[in-house]
Amino acid sequence: MTIRLYDLVEAKDRSISPFVWRIKYALAHKGLDFETQPVGFGDIPKLCGGKYKTVPIIEDGAVSMNESLAIADYLDKAYPDRPAIFATPQERAMARFFDGWFGLEIMNRMFAINVLDIHNHARTSDQPYFRQSREARLGGKTLEQFTEGREAKIPELRNALRPMRAALSAAPFLGGDAPSYADYIALGGFIWAGTVCTVPLLAADDKLNDWLARGLDLYNGLGRVELYPLSA
Ligand SMILES: N[C@@H](CCC(=O)N[C@@H](CS)C(=O)NCC(=O)O)C(=O)O
């Protein structure tokens, strides 16, 4: 049976959730067939009887669930004969550590640069909700005020990526010779940024570009979607 994945999309139906992207990669890693169902922000509370506030959400037969880590765990448990997303509890723990680091240090910085771009790319019907909900988190600033002079934040983002560069100078993937859930977390973040962000985030000679190219090529080019240039 094909798994259904609810996918948050922008006005041109491109997938814009970094959390949905990591689950797309996790499903591909396990070699599981899945179909995506595009939804806007306003649709999420109406799905699955209103049980969930965020995507990713999957439906697999009678099972439905959200929360990306819970979904990854479920996939390993439900499909033990397929390649493991987390081969050991220790690998899962390190993936959680990476998730925390990447969210705090990298995605928060990307958000500070691209939040107005996300708004501008969202479906028109989603824009008022997106603006109101995000501005509520910005201490009284509008999206425009928050992102004013955003180019000045790019060097700090590049600097924060040093631990990834260090790891990737020794191996092709964060998982070593093969991609791991940490790679999928990071790829999801960069694809999210590239889908909306109108300023390139990486320098042209950044070694991360090589990893990014390898990552986007995985699973028959799963991540080879229309993106703004991520480097310049
Ligand atoms: N902890 C959640 C986070 C998921 C999340 O934040 N999803 C966002 C999209 S990237 C969402 O659905 N937001 C709905 C909203 O803002 O109303 C997970 O890992 O799945």
Ligand 1 atom showing the smallest separation from residue 23 Cα? 20
Q: Tokens 């081969």: give the residue.
A: 87
**Domain housing 17:** 3-78
Ligand 1 atom showing the smallest separation from residue 67 Cα? 20
Q: Is 215 in the pocket of ligand 1 (CB under 6 A)?
A: no
Coil, strand or helix at 34: strand
Q: What is the mean pLDDT of residues 158-185?
A: 98
pLDDT of residue 130: 98
Q: Is 56 in the pocket of ligand 1 (CB under 6 A)?
A: yes
CATH number at residue 96: 1.20.1050.10
Q: Is 8 in the pocket of ligand 1 (CB under 6 A)?
A: yes
Atom 11 (ligand 1): residue with closest C-alpha? 54
- pLDDT of 140 over the 90 cut: no
Pocket test for ligand 1, best of 6, 48, 54, 73 (most atoms within 8 A of CB): 54
Confirm whether 66 is domain-assigned: yes
Atom 5 (ligand 1): residue with closest C-alpha? 54
Q: What is the mean pLDDT of residues 43-52?
A: 97
Atom 12 (ligand 1): residue with closest C-alpha? 54
- Torsion angles phi and psi, residue 60, rounded to 5: -135, 95
189 and 131 co-located in one domain: yes
Distance, CA of 55 to CA of 217 (rounded, Å): 24
Atom 9 (ligand 1): residue with closest C-alpha? 17
95 and 56 co-located in one domain: no
- pLDDT of 164 over the 90 cut: yes
Confirm whether 227 is domain-assigned: no
16 and 121 co-located in one domain: no
Percent of the chain with pLDDT over 70: 100
Domain count, the chain: 2
pTM above 0.95, yes or no: yes
- pLDDT of 213 over the 90 cut: yes
DSSP 170-182: TSSBTTBSS--HH
Q: Tokens 């691209």: give the residue.
A: 114
Ligand 1 atom showing the smallest separation from residue 129 Cα? 17
Q: Tokens 């005020």: give the residue.
A: 145
Q: Is 15 in the pocket of ligand 1 (CB under 6 A)?
A: no
Distance, CA of 45 to CA of 52 (rounded, Å): 6
Confidence of residue 193 (pLDDT cuts 50, 70, 90): very high
Confidence of residue 25 (pLDDT cuts 50, 70, 90): very high
pLDDT of residue 1: 83
Confirm whether 231 is domain-assigned: no
19 HSE (CA, 13 A, CB side): 15
CA–CA–CA angle 175, 103, 85 (5° rounding): 35
Confirm whether 22 is domain-assigned: yes
> Cα of 205 to ligand 1 centre, how many Å?
32
